[in-house]
Amino acid sequence: MRDITVTKGPEPRVVRLHIRWQGGATETLLVQLPQKRADATRYPSPFVERIRELAVNHHDDEIATLLRSEGYKSTIPGKPITRGTIAWLRYKHRIQAPRPSQGTLSVRQVCEKYGVSHWVVHYWISRGIVPANQRKPNAPYAITIDNKLDRRLQQWVANSAHLHP
């Protein structure tokens, strides 16, 4: 062998080896490069779409449990589908978490509505001043505020020396 020239072809993940032998003969070999690690562990589109469907009504840990029960496997051998896997895929593919029930507000929305901190909203929740429900422990609150309570909270914030020093 006299020399070898390596060139990238127009095809992805393929290189061409141009070999020139001592006698002057030439030969070209196509070599398929191995798959990138990121591509090898990428989840297929149907899997991501199934997460998108389930995310309408389910949280990450519930989605992981449902997918495992449906026979889905992680693309990383020996690693189960976990809540963290689902959270990462929702982030990566911009899949929204389930929305609170119709007519309810999140803690952040109550903070914005009344111009108070999340500590104040949690105080109101812990004292039973605002009705709030959680689907399960550590899940976001769904807060219901009717017109009467809305007026009461607006007056409370306006008249509080603690909230407006």
- pLDDT value for 40: 60
For residues 76 and 113, state if they share a domain: no
What is the chain's percent helix, strand, coil content, to nearest 5? Answer: 40, 15, 45
Flag whether 97 is in a domain.
no
Flag whether 164 is in a domain.
no
- pLDDT value for 38: 64
For residues 63 and 83, state if they share a domain: yes
Q: Characterize the bridge pairing of strands 14-20 and 3-8.
A: antiparallel
Q: How far apart are CA 83 and CA 46, in angstroms?
A: 19
pLDDT tens-digit series, residues 7-47: 987 888 899 999 999 988 999 999 988 877 666 667 888 88
pLDDT tens-digit series, residues 99-151: 767 788 989 999 999 999 999 999 999 999 999 988 777 778 889 999 999 99
- What's the rounded mean pLDDT across residues 65-90? 88
For residues 45 and 15, state if they share a domain: no
For residues 48 and 86, state if they share a domain: yes
Q: How far apart are CA 71 and CA 78, in angstroms?
A: 14
Domain that holds residue 15: 3-33
This prediction has a pTM of 0.51
For residues 148 and 129, state if they share a domain: yes
Q: How many domains does the chain have?
A: 3
For residues 84 and 47, state if they share a domain: yes
For residues 55 and 27, state if they share a domain: no
Radius of gyration of the chain (CA): 29
Flag whether 125 is in a domain.
yes
- pLDDT value for 102: 78
Please check the confidence at residue 164 and state whether its pLDDT lies above 70.
Answer: no
Residue 74 amino acid letter: S
Flag whether 165 is in a domain.
no
Residue 88 amino acid letter: W
Flag whether 102 is in a domain.
no
For residues 115 and 155, state if they share a domain: yes
Q: Provide the greatest CA pair distance for the chain.
A: 97
